[in-house]
């Protein structure tokens, strides 16, 4: 009898303990108010500009294989190489030139405020010493050291934030296999008998990233397979926020994003949307967080042949365009297998940093444009079938960002001596040029919503000269 009572008490206690742990795991999610969420997102919202890093075994072939030169982080799927053959690249991965402080210097010099690095991409290779799998940098490479924690510590020494990318889809894990005949790896299908164990392996690995690197952002990807559901994403999101209440998690933790447009189709999961290789036509209004991620050339992972680099002008104007719509810009570098960031990328990012050194006030911690129509307008397409369509006509002469009491007008095209813009209900008290060290006042006339500003003959910066309007309360 006594034994029964004892065992009943034990079961009851265990159930109570599990209930408390589950409740704790759900607590940060259920209880967070919009104001608390905005506070949690504050550093990320104000940062505006981050470095994405795609680094893994795919850096070893560096884009080449059996005559092909178009490869990168999708090497396995593009070539159909076997898992065993691909895993041999690990024996050649020895980034002896890896210097995390140098990578952080490059990011900081570019004006970037956070770094997000691939901890595990679709290839399934872990870039840290994880207990989740022995397919990792410490156990399988001659380098035999974790690269994530040193980067996290270097970032924090320099005042930058640190985040990690994690692919839910894993082309190396035995739980998964190609979902479609003839397809090499993507998308995977999950062995139903192994799904729970794989999710527990992911939780082990993600908990390590949280506890060992103190990652502040978890950037999920590879979520598009049928076997990964929004419910799975909700459970994982709650678990992770239970471990780290201030963690910021993107919307790819669930499975309801609108493809590369990146925003949720419906009731999504996660803290921010993830447009990829594109900038939305307009913003999404207050409280909707989003970040455009983009390559600097045409590949995420290192490709030795890819010299199609975006110019500093394109990068700066993308950053301004995104900021004027209330988004963040996560711009990618693909380091070599030796551990260096390609020189052209360093040069371009250095030029971007020079512009931000002078004009960063008009980007960091800004709010979107207060004006309407400065991004472009919709034009109707009267269709014969009567189903009128409309298409967006972007404008590219200027953008605007704002802060309380200020509007920053980013002039891409120099309008000559007079700038006329429709400022709507904004009342202008003063006008200066941000790059003018003397901040000499500019003459202006405002007649209702029409503002005319007298400008110097030439722009102070050929890419973007920022006009600062001090506005009446």
Question: Contacts for 35-39 with beta carbons within 8 Å, 24 or more apart?
Answer: 37/271, 38/287
Which positions from 361 to 400 touch ligand FHN by CB under 6 A, shown as an x/- string?
Answer: ----------------------------------------
Other beta carbons within 10 Å of 354 = 15
- Least separation in angstroms between residue 48's CB and ligand FHN is 18
Which positions from 162 to 201 touch ligand FHN by CB under 6 A, shown as an x/- string?
Answer: ----------------------------------------
Question: Contacts for 32-36 with beta carbons within 8 Å, 24 or more apart?
Answer: 34/287
Task: Say if strands 114-120 and 49-53 run parallel, antiparallel, or are unpaired.
Answer: parallel
Rank residues 208 and 221 by Cβ distance to ligand FHN and give the closer one: 221
What is the separation, in whole angstroms, between the first and last Cα of the chain?
78
Among 173, 221, 223, 291, binds ligand FHN (CB under 6 A): 221
Rank residues 56 and 111 by Cβ distance to ligand FHN and give the closer one: 56
- Least separation in angstroms between residue 320's CB and ligand FHN is 22
Cβ distance 139 to 91 under 8 Å? no
Cβ distance 272 to 251 under 8 Å? yes
Which positions from 58 to 77 touch ligand FHN by CB under 6 A, shown as an x/- string?
Answer: ---------------xx---
Report the C-alpha gap between 342 and 49 in whole angstroms.
Answer: 20
- Return the bridge partners of 398, or none: 411
- Return the bridge partners of 189, or none: 177
Rank residues 164 and 471 by Cβ distance to ligand FHN and give the closer one: 164
Q: Does 276 bind ligand FHN (CB under 6 A)?
A: yes
Rank residues 300 and 302 by Cβ distance to ligand FHN and give the closer one: 300
Token pair recorded at residue 370: 């207060």
Rank residues 128 and 398 by Cβ distance to ligand FHN and give the closer one: 128
Q: Which of residues 290-309 bind ligand FHN (CB under 6 A)?
A: 293, 300
Residue 29 class from Cβ within 10 Å (0-12 exposed, 13-18 middle, 19+ buried)? middle
Q: Which of residues 307-336 bind ligand FHN (CB under 6 A)?
A: none
Rank residues 73 and 306 by Cβ distance to ligand FHN and give the closer one: 73
- Least separation in angstroms between residue 459's CB and ligand FHN is 34
Number of amino acids touching ligand FHN (CB under 6 A): 6
Closest CA to 113 of 160, 168, 183: 160
Report the C-alpha gap between 442 and 336 in whole angstroms.
Answer: 49
- Least separation in angstroms between residue 54's CB and ligand FHN is 6
Token pair recorded at residue 150: 């040193």
The site for ligand FHN (CB under 6 A) is made up of: 73-74, 221, 276, 293, 300
């Amino acid at each position: 009898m006594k034994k029964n009572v004892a065992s009943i008490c034990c079961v009851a206690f265990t159930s109570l303990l599990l209930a408390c742990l589950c409740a704790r795991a759900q607590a940060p999610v259920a209880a967070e108010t919009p104001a608390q969420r905005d506070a949690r997102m504050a550093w990320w919202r104000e940062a505006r500009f981050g470095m994405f890093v795609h680094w893994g075994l795919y850096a070893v072939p560096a884009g080449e294989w059996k005559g092909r030169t178009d490869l990168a982080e999708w090497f396995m799927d593009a070539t159909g190489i076997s898992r065993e053959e691909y895993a041999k690249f690990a024996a050649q991965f020895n980034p002896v030139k890896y210097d995390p402080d140098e990578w952080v210097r490059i990011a900081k010099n570019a004006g970037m405020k956070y770094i997000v690095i691939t901890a595990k991409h679709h290839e399934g290779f872990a870039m840290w010493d994880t207990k989740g799998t022995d397919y990792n940098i410490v156990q399988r490479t001659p380098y035999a050291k974790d690269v994530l924690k040193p980067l996290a510590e270097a970032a924090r020494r320099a005042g930058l934030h640190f985040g990690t990318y994690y692919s839910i889809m894993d082309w190396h894990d035995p739980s998964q296999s190609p979902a479609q005949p003839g397809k090499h790896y993507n998308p995977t299908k999950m062995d139903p008998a192994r799904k729970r164990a794989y999710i527990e392996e992911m939780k082990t690995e993600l908990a390590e990233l949280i506890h060992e690197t103190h990652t502040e952002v978890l950037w999920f990807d590879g979520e598009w397979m049928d076997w990964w559901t929004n419910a799975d994403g909700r459970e994982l999101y709650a678990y992770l926020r239970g471990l780290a209440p201030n963690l910021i998690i993107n919307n790819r933790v669930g499975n309801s994003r609108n493809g590369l447009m990146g925003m949720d189709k419906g009731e999504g999961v996660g803290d921010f949307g993830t447009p990829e290789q594109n900038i939305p036509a307009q913003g999404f209004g207050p409280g909707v967080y989003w970040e455009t991620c983009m390559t600097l050339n045409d590949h995420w992972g290192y490709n030795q042949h890819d010299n199609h680099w975006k110019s500093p002008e394109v990068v700066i104007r993308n950053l301004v365009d995104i900021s004027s719509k209330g988004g963040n810009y996560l711009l990618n570098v693909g380091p070599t297998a030796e551990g260096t960031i390609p020189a052209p990328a360093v040069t371009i990012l250095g030029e971007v940093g020079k512009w931000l050194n002078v004009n960063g006030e008009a980007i960091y911690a800004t709010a979107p444009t207060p004006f309407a129509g400065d991004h472009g307008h919709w034009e109707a397409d009267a269709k014969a079938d009567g189903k009128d369509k409309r298409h967006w006509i972007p404008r590219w002469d200027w953008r605007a960002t704002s802060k309380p009491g200020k509007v920053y007008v980013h002039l891409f095209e120099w309008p000559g001596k007079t700038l006329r813009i429709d400022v709507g209900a904004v009342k202008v008290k003063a006008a200066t040029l941000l790059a003018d060290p003397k901040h000499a006042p500019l003459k202006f006339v405002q007649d209702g919503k029409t503002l005319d500003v007298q400008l110097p003959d030439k722009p102070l910066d050929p890419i973007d000269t920022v006009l600062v309007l001090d506005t009446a309360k």
